[in-house]
Structure 1
Amino acid sequence: MKRALTLHVNGEEHQVEIEPNRLLLHVLRDELGLTGTKEGCSIGVCGACSVIVDGRLVSSCLTLAIGCNRKNIETIEGLAKDGKLHPLQQAFIEYGGFQCGICTPGQIMAAKALLDENAKPSEEEVKEWMSGNLCRCTGYYKILESVMAVVDGKTDPNYTFRKRETTAKIQSLDVYKPVAKTN
């Protein structure tokens, strides 16, 4: 039996009716169209599905949506404000902290949760915190460098992004979403 649910996602209120066993990941992607949050492992170990719920980093692939009723949820789509990238998004581009982009939303949300809790973590604290997010493309050095650039205030506020696709990828915008093939 479906249940009515109110989700506060990226500052907007959403009313949905869902089965009580629906995971937050699937509600975000399928009901709200927020596909920036990725499904990687489905068992909460890769971090690709990381979102922030009431200030706490959670694996949305393990979190029942019904448990998020009336809670504040932050996803990658909500980080850029007024056309300006969040400093972490900017740093991941500026310092090359991503390649394919699958894990990037989870990496950025994990880093944001850390910086919300501790604005000046040490490099070791960043490494430990980010160890819950897996990346199959990089050696993690560029991810660490990107986060530390934000911690150390080394992002350039005048940095311009030449590639539209890169900026779209880091924000999970529609321009970067794959198109299904039709026969």
Structure 2
Amino acid sequence: MARAGRRPGQTETREQIVDAARRLFAERGYAGATVRAIAAEAGVNPALLHHFFGTKQQLFVAVMNLPVNPAELLPQLLAGPSDELGERLVRLFLTIWGEPETRAPFVALVRSITTNDQAAAMMREFIDSAVFSKVAEARGIPRIRVSAAAGQLVGMALLRYVLEVPPLADATEEEIVELVAPVIQYYIDG
């Protein structure tokens, strides 16, 4: 049983929690790695994990070095008329990928998940439970449609920001929104 309270002396408690979480997410997946198990692995009380990270999802965001937390973006994305969700998705995606500070970690993550099976498994499970299922449930959309829309957006981002394929890389954001938003809206509406 982990001791309650703060450890005596100098510690790297936050880093130990991240390391423990990384190991357990890799071994057990996102759903199988519980807050209690991660805290026990790090030798801390679960309350300390909550103190540093808040939730398991926020801990995962830190472990994977995600530049944005989907839990913070989903409410603003889902707010508003359903018939404008495709446009909001495209604009949000362009905003996130368009900023060099947020693009660099995403590019690194894409490289990691395409070359590391454990990273891919962790990310796949996280995206499904923290993003796809939440959007599908909130809007009554089959998850396959949410997944297909995400595939369209990721493909667009890779061509535009990673490979920088013209004319997509040279298009204005408004041109991209005009072209891609109706397709994303189709996935949503069916």
TM-score range, shorter chain: under 0.3
Looking at CA atoms only, which structure, 1 or 2, has the larger radius of gyration?
Answer: 2
More helix by share: 2
TM-score, normalized by length of structure 1? Answer: 0.25
Higher strand proportion (structure 1 or 2): 1
